[in-house]
Amino acid sequence: METWDAIRARRNVRQYTPEPVADADLERIAEAGWRAPSAKNRQPWDFIIVTDSAQLQELSTVWMGAGHLAGAAAAIVLVIPVPPDERRKLIDQYDIGQATMAMMLAATDLGIGTGHSSVGDQEKARAILGVPDDHLVAYLLGVGHPADRPLTPIRKPNRRPFDEVVHRGRW
């Protein structure tokens, strides 16, 4: 798939087939996150690839929007150090956002769906994943083959009108 097609085809997938995702594909998706840009090339992230169904079921309970993980073939968990201040928190959030989008596009390119989720219960998430207390489980990315329809470019996306979003020169 061409990059532009992957951008247009990417959507949040929260229902998956029971088919597993190949380890090589999971590695490629994680590598896309690893290659993402970061401020001062700090690369604050660590990624945990989860494929155990019991562990995915447990992760689905750490946030009200994480239920889709229970049916996913895998999850990629984004972990960052506890930020020392608000500035670092903002920079790290931006960086892991870039890593997340890179992984989502790489997955789309492979025909694999992704659905992101936040984390509400840090203590529970850390316990499930063995993450130390000086790190945050920032986001969860469900990964699997879409159950409803393949990932193809969306002709009429449900977005605000382009002309209302894009401004030239000034607001």
pLDDT tens digit sequence for 1-43: 799 999 999 999 999 999 999 999 999 999 999 999 999 999 9
Cα-based torsion angle of the residue sequence 52, 57, 104, 40 in order, rounded to the nearest 10 degrees? -80
Q: Are 68 and 140 in contact (CB under 8 A)?
A: no
pLDDT tens, residue by residue, 37-94 = 999 999 999 999 999 999 999 999 999 999 999 999 999 999 999 999 999 999 999 9
Which pLDDT tens digit goes with each residue over 91-121?
999 999 999 999 999 999 999 999 999 999 9
Q: Any idea what the Cα angle at residue 127 is, between residues 122 and 130, rounded to 5°?
A: 110
> Taking all residues of the chain, what is their mean pLDDT, rounded to a whole number?
97
Which pLDDT value is given to residue 1?
76
CA distances from 54 to 12, 35, 71 (A): 23, 30, 10
